[in-house]
Structure 1
Amino acid sequence: MEHLGVLSVFAAACVLGVVMSQTTLSPAVTITTVSVNVTTPTMPGTTEPSCSVLNTSTCAACAPGTYYDNETRLCSCCPDVGLCVFPAACLPCTQGFYQPLAGQLGCLSCPSGFFSNVTRSPVCRACSPGSYNNNTASISCSACTPGTYCNSSSCAQCQICPAGSEALQVAAKQCTSCRPGMHKLSHQTICQICKSGFYQIHWGQENCDLCPENHYCPSPDVNPIQCPNDAFCPEGSTAPGYCMETFFRKAGETCELAPVTIALLVIGGGVGLLFIIVLVLRMKKDNDSELSLARTPLLRKDRPPGRFYGIPCDAEPVYAGW
């Protein structure tokens, strides 16, 4: 009877331990050893389950990775994947996290290029081509912006298109070659139109070519055109340059006066010289006239008309008897 009383007290202590441990989120363990086999496939970076063999032959707290089952009063591994013990309870993994194994102490965050937008997920989903994710524990992926692309799944970031190609659409999965008349360097995001005086007639080019001498390039996407014989076309010409028709003509690399221009210059020079002579003579004549008018008052003095004793003042005096 005494032994039975001791066993009763010991059992009561274990039950009390169960109750106490439940209040402290660390339930007590009773009964015997339990074996658990987990065959869930693992992802890179995961570990084997910690809950494989339970030793429950003594009155002790549940081991890490297990929880207290109120019905069986045993410590048990979490029954399903996508669950973890936190602490002493099986809770679902939140969005952005996953757990492929049972009986684990915590959930794992989705790596870059992956995401999880549901709870209790055993795996993370890879970002689809044309999208990326450069953060961990993400719940979604972002589309590649124009100028960048991703041609595979699980991209951590989108790439700039190689030289000579571009991606104009959002969420591009591949790049397209630059059109003729355009080019793109490796650090640029979109193709550029060739500068004036340059040309490019091929697809997917990194640089444009300078229009050669004795040719002109009216459009960057056509071959250089041969310069006419009577025109000038230095490097980088977009159109031929001509001398002024009728008055000038091409002579080597310069323009010279045409014969008709020389004749016109001679005639024009003669007319101009004649005009200057006439102008000088006219000015001399005008100066002489002004000088004559200035000297006239000195040659004849005008007197005002008047009378003196009935005789006009300007009349010559008459002296009688003299």
Structure 2
Amino acid sequence: MTMCKKRHFLKVLLILLPFVYVSALTSADSVFLQFIPQCNTTFKDCRPCDPGYFADDNTTDCYCCDNPGYCKTDCTPCQPGTEQHLPGKTECDPCEKGRYSVNSATKKCILCHAGTYQNETGQTECVCCDTGTHCNEEGCTECEQCDKGFYSNVTCSPTCEPCPEGHYVNTNGSTECKSCEIGQYSNITGSTQCRECDPGHYQNTTGAAVCKPCELGFHNNATGASECFPCEEGHYSNKTGQPSCSECEKGYYSNMTQTVDCMACEKGTYQNETGQTFCLSCGAGLETRKVGMSVCELCLDGTYKPEDGPHTCTACNPGTYSDGSKFGELNLNCTDCEEGHFQEKKNKSSCDPCPIGRYVNARGATGCLPCAEGHEARSTGATACTPCQAGTCKAEKSDELCRQCPDGSYADKVGQTQCQKCPSGYYCPNAALPPQKCPDNSYCPPGTTSPIYCNTPWFRFGKSKECTPSGELIGVIVGCILVFIVIVIFGVYRIRHWRHKKRILEESQPLSDNSQPVYRGF
């Protein structure tokens, strides 16, 4: 189309537009006038429309009534989506936002149920809340987004659910919760974020409500860890949930990883530093007598250790001893017992001297020997026996001392095994000297210690070389005997004479006597 033709068309359109408008108005008025009811009379018996109904002026029964909202017969029910709670109304009101009506003749629109909403008026139904939103009361005009830490994965939900333990959500309007990542946890519901595991704990799965403590022999010193690490050599952990492993104490060691408890150094070894993987051997003359020691000690007296090594000191054998520790010295070896001393037990710090009666003449003795017959050891620690002294003897080998010769015997030489009895005609005043010849005018029987002299004048030395009674002694003895016999005879005579006189007197006396009694003496 050319430019000239376009301009011609617009001019024609502008000329015809007023005529078209007037024609349309005329047509509309004719339609309106066609629906206006015709009243031949005014109705007197009209009644107001009930709630839920309205007076439709397009009907004769309502239009011809004097009062608006009145009808002669039936009123028109409110349509779904509308309401009228007052009587005598000419129209119904649309349902407000948050309400709806599904039936006609509704007096009051119904509130939208929780979980639904309506943001327009005049509606016949409510709309379900979408996932991620909710409405927890009736009459909602819109749904709210779920808060952080809450979610809704269904429609028409009145509430949002809190995220369970081990889950979280940090945005509004969520339809699902996220699982806590490894190394994290959440031990509450409705969490907006997960927490990192503390040192000494870990979590190697997602969606965890708690973290796991590091097991025995493991540790972790970082937050948010997904694993724990084994303790290194020289370290240990004997509790769960430890952020770090402890160094083995002095006297202990660990030569492996994942150690729960360090091992104690054995006897004969030690460790004087912490965090070690091995123990050290004690040097010569040193030991540890208990496990778990940090320093070595001197070998006890009675023991020895000649060289370095992971063992304890050795007990000295019988016949030897060690006593260095009491002087602060090392017991590197044991010493043999000296002559005259012995030790019958092991692990001793000294030797005992031989007791009296015994001796030993060699080193390293475990016992002493008894002295032979005719010999003795009169002091302790003897290295040899000495012959019995003169005046003593010893008959057999034993640990007894030589015994003194009994009275009347002698041993005039040393080393005698028997004492000799003093012979007849001799006396032995000293057992260590030879017998002495009996002096004149005396006699000495065998075994006498001094001569026996005759006491004159009563005894005389006879031919038998013994003291015999003298004549004077015999005469005195005989005279004494004769005097005794005379005295006995005279005594017997007197007794017999007295008895005879008494009998004669009794025979001459009468049988009765009335006279007064006479008392006579003997």
- Would the alpha carbon gap of residues 222 and 65 (structure 1) be closer, same or farther in structure 2, given more than 3 Å must change? closer
CA contact (8 A) 1:80 1:102 kept: yes
The whole-number CA distance in structure 1 between the counterparts of 2:235 and 2:160 is: 51
Match of 1:206 in 2: 260
TM-score, normalised to structure 2's length? 0.39
Residues 13 and 168 of structure 1: CA distance in aligned 2, closer, same or farther (over 3 Å): same
Of the candidates 217, 225, 247, which is equivalent to residue 280 of structure 2? 225
Specify the structure having the higher radius of gyration (Cα): 2
TM-score when normalising by structure 1: 0.60
Match of 2:170 among 88, 93, 117: 117
Q: Is the 8 A contact 1:66 1:75 kept in 2?
A: no
Query: Post-superposition shift, 1:138?
Result: 1.5
CA contact (8 A) 1:111 1:137 kept: yes
Is the 8 Å Cα contact of residues 130 and 144 (structure 1) preserved in structure 2? yes
Give the Cα–Cα distance (whole angstroms) in 2 for the partners of residues 229 and 110 of structure 1: 71
Please name the residue that 2:127 is paired with: 77
Aligned-residue offset at 1:17: 7.4
Q: Using CA pairs below 8 Å that are at least 6 residues apart, which structure has the higher relative contact order?
A: 1
Give the secondary structure class of the aligned counterpart of 2:147.
Answer: coil
Q: Which runs of 5+ in 2 are unaligned?
A: 1-58, 62-72, 86-91, 307-312, 316-321, 330-522
Greater helix content: 1
Taking structure 1 as reference, are residues 182 and 16 closer, same or farther at Cα in structure 2, changes over 3 Å only? Answer: same
Output the amino acid matched with 2:277: V
CA distance in 1, matches of 2:79, 2:294: 107
Superposed CA deviations along residues 38-87 of structure 1, whole A, max 9, x for unmatched, are xxxxxxxxxxxxxxxxxx9x964434432224167242333531011233
User: Which of 237, 241, 246 matches 1:192?
Assistant: 246
Q: Distance in 1 between matches of 2:281 and 2:305?
A: 19
Cα offset for 1:160?
1.4
CA-based RMSD: 3.3
Q: Letter of the aligned partner of 1:206 in structure 2? A: V
Q: In the alignment, does 2:306 pair up with 1:216?
A: no
SS in 2 for 1:75: coil
Q: Please state whether the residue corresponding to 2:75 is helix, strand or coil.
A: helix
- Give the total of aligned pairs: 225
Cα distance, 1:8 vs structure 2: 4.6
> Which amino acid is 1:94 matched to?
D
Matched, 1:65 2:119: no
Q: Deviations for 1:73-106, whole angstroms, at most 9, x for unmatched residues? A: 2423335310112332311111111101111111
**Residue correspondence of structure 1 range 1-322 to structure 2 within 5 A:** 1=59, 5-8=75-78, 11-13=82-84, 16=93, 18-19=95-96, 22=97, 27-30=99-102, 60-70=110-120, 73-78=123-128, 80-87=130-137, 88=140, 89-187=142-240, 189=242, 190-219=244-273, 220-234=275-289, 235-241=291-297, 256=324, 257=327
The aligned residue for residue 291 of structure 1 is none
CA distance in 1 between counterparts of 2:271 and 2:148 reads 60
Q: Residues 12, 241 of structure 1: CA spacing in aligned structure 2 closer, same or farther, 3 A cutoff?
A: closer
- Identity fraction in percent: 23
